[in-house]
Amino acid sequence: MSMKKLFTKSRFKIALECPTKLYYYDLKDEANKPVYKNRMSEDAFLQTLADGGHMVGEMAKFVYHPSPQDPDITVRERRYDESVAETVRRLSIDIASGKTNSVIAEAAIRHGDFFIRIDILVADHINKTLTLVEVKAKSVKNEELQSGFKNKKGYESKWLPYLYDVAFQTLVTEQALETMMEGAMRDYRVIPKLMLVYKEVPCERDGLNEYFKVIRDPSNPREMEVRVKPGTTRAELGDLSFLHEVDMTHIVNELRTAPIPGDFMPSAASRDLGSFMNWACQVQQSGERYFSRPDKRCKSCQFRARTDKNEQSGIHECWAHAIGEGWLQGDASITGDREIPLSVDLWGGRSGPVSYADSVLQAGHAFLSDILEASIAPKKTNDPKDQKFTSHERRMLQIELERNPLEGFRIQKETLRDYIHAWDYPWHMIDFETSAPSIPFFEGMRPYQTVAFQFSHHRMDEDGTITHAHQFIKTDAKGNPNIIFVRELKKALMPDGKLVGTVFMYTGHERTVLQQIGAELCGRNDLPDYEELMQFIQLLAGVDTSRNKFEYSRRLRDLHDLVLKTYVSRHARGSNSLKYILPAILKDAPNTAAIYAKQGVYGKGLTMHSMNFEGPEGHQWLTTDSNGDPYKTLPPLFDLEGISAKEVDELLGGLFDVDGGKIDQGGLAMAAYNLTRYTDLGDADRKKIQQGLLRYCELDTLAMCMLVQGLKELAGV
């Protein structure tokens, strides 16, 4: 049995991101635990709940085999050499018995130090072809298929990792066939294919997800399997036409001879795909670290630890090396303090095609406080009469506040006052929780179509009263909740048939969801309240001028936009998501913070009424243990043995937009809802998850109340 760490698909992907990561990815301690913090560490169970990848993989087997469970077409062996031997054994038996084709899932192939597992291998023994099918739970649009995944500059960056993945497997397989089965397959032609989820094809049956259940491995909570309903056949699942197969032959032929983009490797290694594969494999096999020069990729580096001293931080070691080499200018001794922001922590929002991470690194700045304005100055200057922060001003203020940490924040008082005085009472804070499953739950539903399963609504009155007024949640498996969701939201905001006051969201998520549901409802004249629902959606989300296009409405205001224009805080660490803005405002506005540090204030029947927090003392949102972050006072939404709530947050936070206002909590809520669909839960577990979701969503709208209170305090309103 081979115990060697072979160069696999995952290591190839890591090397394409940055060859230095190969060292951080592989290094383990004596207990075989990772030495370096990895914020994107693989957790198959939670990853599957979030993106449905493993379920799409299981479903794809039915495209190539009418009954892939019986006989079982999957190679279950996980050890390298044994899985290769099992793959060869199955092919040999089929050829010897005169079968015209073989279908093998998780087929294993090895060539030297290269090792791959092919999602689905289809061997045609008559025409001597070997089709490699890489299955991805990634959505694709018609225009992307027609363009061949290209734009004017070449292959789109978001598609390149997937395209290279298929190309890597193709090259390894071609080389392995020379000696595989003693050369009996050297005349086979390799046909690479990529299977994606086609968003524009609706599902033709209800409850497709019921055939695929996620089961956790009790001995290893991070591992899982997708258990297919026994006896399931292709005929039961329908035509599965939303699983779209793309022939990758032309693309692979282009990629195998094209230079590898980026200058983070020796020129000889970047000459073509084969050269890169061999070089990266040698780097990985050596166990030595290859330092590449920092560039904009470092901003999203997953090998970054903040305060946990038990885990090493790869990016900080890269920074120290870069300073030593003279690539970056700064004090190398402070790389050991992980609380000091790096230059790539500069806010990069609303920058268009410009990468400010690239700008500051090319200028040689190691830390945020080192950045000079000349390195990030825009081509156009701001109108001095404009009393709102421009994107450039926000960046410069972030730098200034880091240099002068005692100052804490900056605010546009007059502009903020003007906004607040223009809002009509009562103020309604709304937050939606949604899922966009890769496998449609309902007949007629398209892959990745939005399912709105929950909302929370807080109301702030002119006298300062704050009330958790309404909530809605639907986690059972009966029908699409979108119509009921809109009806209940309309009841909450328009109990007397008229919208009174101003409605707020944080980022445009709520507006987008309402627009999507509006498009879904168009033409549903069978609904008795069709006109009323459409008018309500149009009132909040905009005017529907063509049944597909919505114009902006001022009845739904975005607090995220307000923050960008009027408030900058050092405590937000360059992020403007609510997850970071909330603890920031509570540090900058002490009077507001004092309210939520008290017991007996927030809870059912207390001064601030809650629908989900009971007890005579209510819920205390600011505690010593929470470090000023109300989200840390909530119990874990996932109570999974062996996996901490922090690890869950980091995993799911990495799957979603970091600066979009829906960071960890949005990802957690989606995964929790998907858990109710993809697993067999008892009534007690389902109720527990539902209660957790209600508390999380309630805090999202309360957080908006806290934010407005804090902004009022800072503006002196």
pLDDT digits (tens, 9 = 90+) for 164-178: 999 999 999 999 999
CB neighbourhood size of 145 (10 A):
14
With bands split at pLDDT 50, 70 and 90, how would you rate the model's confidence at 116? very high
- pLDDT per residue as tens digits for the range 623-633: 988 889 999 99
The token duo for 426 is 């009562």
Rounded Cα distance, 172 and 110, in Å: 8
Answer whether 71's CB lies under 8 Å from 65's CB. no
pLDDT value at 90 more than 70: yes
pLDDT value at residue 661: 30
**Higher-confidence position of 237 and 43:** 237
Torsion angles phi and psi, residue 191, rounded to 5: -115, 110
**Higher-confidence position of 313 and 678:** 313
Answer whether 199's CB lies under 8 Å from 139's CB. yes
State the burial class of residue 71 (Cβ atoms within 10 Å of its Cβ: 0-12, 13-18, 19+).
exposed
Answer whether 16's CB lies under 8 Å from 161's CB. yes
DSSP E strands: which ranges in 405-460? 409-411, 427-435, 451-460
pLDDT value at residue 425: 96
Cis peptide upstream of residue 71 (ω within 30 degrees of 0)? yes
Q: What is the mean pLDDT of residues 231-246?
A: 91
Tokens 């060869």 — which residue? Answer: 88
Least confident of 234-243, 251-260, 270-279: 234-243
What residue ranges do the domains of the chain occupy? 9-282, 296-407, 418-558, 569-715
Q: What is the mean pLDDT of residues 458-467?
A: 97
pLDDT value at residue 672: 75
- pLDDT per residue as tens digits for the range 657-688: 333 333 334 566 777 777 777 766 677 777 88
pLDDT value at residue 472: 97
pLDDT value at residue 144: 95
CA 32 remoteness from chain centre: 28
pLDDT value at 305 more than 50: yes
Q: Which of 80, 108, 73, 66 is nearest to 94 (CA)?
A: 73
Residue 479's SS3 state is coil
User: What b/e readout covers 502-524, taking b as 16+ CB neighbours within 10 angstroms?
Assistant: bbbbbbbbbbbbbbbbbebbeee
pLDDT value at 76 more than 80: yes
Q: What is the mean pLDDT of residues 38-67?
A: 79
Count CA atoms within 13 Å of residue 131 on its CB side.
19
**Higher-confidence position of 548 and 522:** 522
With bands split at pLDDT 50, 70 and 90, how would you rate the model's confidence at 308? low
In eight-state DSSP terms, residue 260 is: P
With bands split at pLDDT 50, 70 and 90, how would you rate the model's confidence at 653? very low
pLDDT value at residue 525: 87
pLDDT value at residue 657: 36
Distances (CA, A) of 411 to 143, 259, 582, 687: 44, 48, 15, 43
Torsion angles phi and psi, residue 10, rounded to 5: -65, -40
Distances (CA, A) of 384 to 388, 411, 544: 10, 16, 36
pLDDT value at 655 more than 60: no
Task: Determine the residue type at 606.
Answer: L
Rounded Cα distance, 620 and 610, in Å: 12
CB neighbourhood size of 449 (10 A):
20
Q: Which pTM was predicted?
A: 0.89
Q: What is the mean pLDDT of residues 220-236?
A: 82
With bands split at pLDDT 50, 70 and 90, how would you rate the model's confidence at 3? low
Task: Determine the residue type at 653.
Answer: G
Rounded Cα distance, 167 and 173, in Å: 10
pLDDT value at residue 547: 53
pLDDT value at residue 664: 39
Distances (CA, A) of 81 to 1, 2, 112, 297: 6, 6, 11, 35
pLDDT value at residue 430: 98
Contacts of 642 (CB under 8 A, 6+ apart): 220, 221, 222
pLDDT value at 548 more than 60: no
Q: What is the mean pLDDT of residues 17-45?
A: 85
Rounded Cα distance, 46 and 674, in Å: 10
Residue 639's SS3 state is coil
Q: What is the mean pLDDT of residues 544-566?
A: 76
Answer whether 324's CB lies under 8 Å from 26's CB. no
The partner residues of 226 in beta bridges, in order of sequence, read 214
Rg (CA), the chain: 27
Q: What percent of the chain has pLDDT over 90?
A: 66
Q: What angle do CA 583, 584, 590 make, to 5 degrees?
A: 90
Least confident of 39-43, 372-376, 642-646: 642-646
Rounded Cα distance, 441 and 444, in Å: 9
pLDDT value at residue 545: 52
Residue 19's SS3 state is coil
Q: Which of 476, 482, 479, 480 is nearest to 686 (CA)?
A: 476
For the chain, give the number of residues.
717
The partner residues of 556 in beta bridges, in order of sequence, read 503
Mean pLDDT over all residues of the chain? 88
Rounded Cα distance, 584 and 31, in Å: 38
CB neighbourhood size of 459 (10 A):
21
Contacts of 527 (CB under 8 A, 6+ apart): 483, 521, 533
pLDDT value at residue 115: 97
pLDDT value at 694 more than 60: yes
